[in-house]
């Protein structure tokens, strides 16, 4: 079953539903959607397979739908996806495969899968760092995988001057502006600060790199990395009211000042808050 959210639904409403359904942090999901696509449900990366409001890579999306799709009414899609001995996800019918991948452009479905992924990442980070992860640390988990993010957080705390490129050579090769500055290798603390910047403050957005492990929790495992593409932007296609946006926020949610600003900006004319 493929359910498409009504075109009139505001992004903050869709994200609020996803946060409630998955237990993911609303603040984090809003910041991620802003950073990844500017709330553009039709966004497509130029240099990778990433697509949709949360810029899911193909393998990550297939893995999420296979493992968590049935919980949200997508049992047909989940059953159509197979996991091979090499850990990669496939769909035998090419047309069916494309149909499932195109679901990334449905903002509600994309938000649900992003919520599932974020909740699983948070579970792993919690166990590794001994506290609730911040929204920025959850974003680092999307970039490096949950275990990689935990390694970076712990190294930044215990050995902050360690070059981060030594910990993540593949990520450093694909993301030189994040890991290097004028040929100098940035430290673990510098890279963590760069990755966890608020939307609009990040100097460079991470480029996707393949085959980073994702969390082994909630009784499911995904191989591919849910990291993102630089240069994907643009505003969300609809027109959104600020007061309605705040009404959609889950009861009891605590919003950072950055997210309050993001939600308020949805009431501005399109392009008013973007260069």
Provide mean pLDDT across the span 82-109: 97
Q: Which residues are known catalytic residues? A: 36
- Bridge partners (DSSP) listed for residue 187: 163
pLDDT of residue 174: 84
Provide mean pLDDT across the span 106-120: 96
Q: Can you give the residue ranges of every domain in the chain?
A: 11-265
- Across all residues in the chain, what is the average pLDDT? 77
- Say what percent of the chain tops pLDDT 70: 69
Give pLDDT tens digits for 209-235: 444 444 544 433 333 333 333 222 222
Task: Check if the beta carbon of residue 69 is closer than 8 Å to that of residue 75.
Answer: yes
CATH code 1.10.530.10 for 11-265 = yes
pTM of the full predicted structure?
A: 0.69
Burial class, 267, CB count within 10 angstroms (exposed 0-12 / middle 13-18 / buried 19+): middle
- Say what percent of the chain tops pLDDT 90: 57
Give pLDDT tens digits for 14-25: 999 999 999 998
pLDDT band at 198 (very low <50, low <70, confident <90, very high): low
pLDDT band at 127 (very low <50, low <70, confident <90, very high): very high
């Amino acid at each position: 079953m493929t359910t498409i959210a009504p075109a009139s639904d505001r992004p903050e409403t869709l994200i609020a539903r996803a946060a409630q359904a998955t237990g993911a942090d609303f603040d984090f999901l809003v910041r991620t959607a802003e950073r990844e696509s500017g709330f553009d449900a039709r966004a497509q990366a130029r240099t990778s397979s990433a697509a949709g409001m949360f810029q899911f890579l193909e393998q990550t999306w297939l893995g999420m739908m296979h493992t968590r799709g049935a919980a949200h009414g997508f049992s047909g899609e989940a059953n159509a996806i197979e996991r091979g001995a090499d850990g990669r996800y496939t769909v035998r019918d090419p047309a069916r495969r494309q149909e499932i991948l195109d679901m990334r452009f449905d903002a509600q479905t994309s938000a649900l899968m992003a919520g599932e992924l974020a909740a699983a990442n948070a579970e792993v980070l919690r166990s590794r760092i001994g506290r609730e992860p911040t929204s920025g640390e959850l974003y680092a988990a999307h970039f490096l995988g949950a275990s990689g993010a935990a390694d970076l957080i712990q190294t930044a705390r215990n050995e902050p001057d360690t070059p981060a490129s030594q910990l993540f050579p593949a990520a450093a090769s694909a993301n030189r502006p994040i890991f290097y500055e004028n040929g100098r290798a940035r430290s673990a603390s510098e890279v963590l600060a760069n990755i966890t910047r608020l939307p609009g403050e990040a100097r460079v957005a991470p480029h996707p790199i393949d085959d980073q492990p994702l969390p082994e929790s909630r009784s499911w495992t995904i191989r591919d990395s849910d990291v993102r593409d630089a240069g994907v932007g643009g505003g969300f296609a609809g027109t959104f009211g600020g007061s309605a946006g705040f009404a959609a926020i889950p009861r009891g949610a605590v919003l950072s000042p950055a997210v309050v600003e993001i939600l308020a900006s949805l009431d501005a004319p399109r392009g008013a808050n973007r260069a």
